[in-house]
């Protein structure tokens, strides 16, 4: 996996709106991709087990915002 610290936190748009942290309102995030065919997929028992979710981790509080590409 690529080094998590190689990038700078950035602003991202989701559904045409600037993404802001649900917890603290911060607007800079670290982006990560996460395969869902691991523990999460097993936990949720869903059929999108081979999808890759987009994860945006708040640079301020660390809250992870998950999005499934459609
Ligand atoms: Zn936050």
Residues 15-24 pLDDT 10s: 899 999 999 9
Whether pTM exceeds 0.75? no
22 alpha carbon to ligand 1 midpoint, in Å? 7
61 alpha carbon to ligand 1 midpoint, in Å? 4
Residues 28-54 pLDDT 10s: 999 887 766 655 555 665 555 567 788
Q: Which residue has the higher pLDDT, 56 or 35?
A: 56
64 alpha carbon to ligand 1 midpoint, in Å? 8
Residue 8 phi/psi, 5-degree rounding, is -95, 150
1 alpha carbon to ligand 1 midpoint, in Å? 24
Beta strands in the chain, from DSSP E residues, in sequence order: 13-14, 17-18, 29-35, 52-58, 64-67
Q: Band of the pLDDT at 1, cuts 50, 70, 90?
A: very low
Sheet of strand 52-58: strand arrangement: 29-35, 52-58, 64-67
Domain edges within the chain: 13-67
The pLDDT, as a whole number, for residue 5 is 54
Architecture of the domain whose range is 13-67: Single Sheet (2.20)
């Amino acid at each position: 996996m690529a080094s998590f610290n190689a990038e700078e936190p950035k602003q991202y748009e989701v559904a045409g709106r600037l993404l802001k942290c649900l917890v603290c309102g911060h607007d800079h995030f670290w982006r990560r991709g996460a395969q869902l065919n691991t523990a999460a997929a097993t936990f949720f028992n869903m059929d999108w087990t081979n999808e890759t979710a987009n994860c945006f981790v708040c640079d301020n509080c660390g809250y992870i915002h998950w999005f499934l590409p459609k």
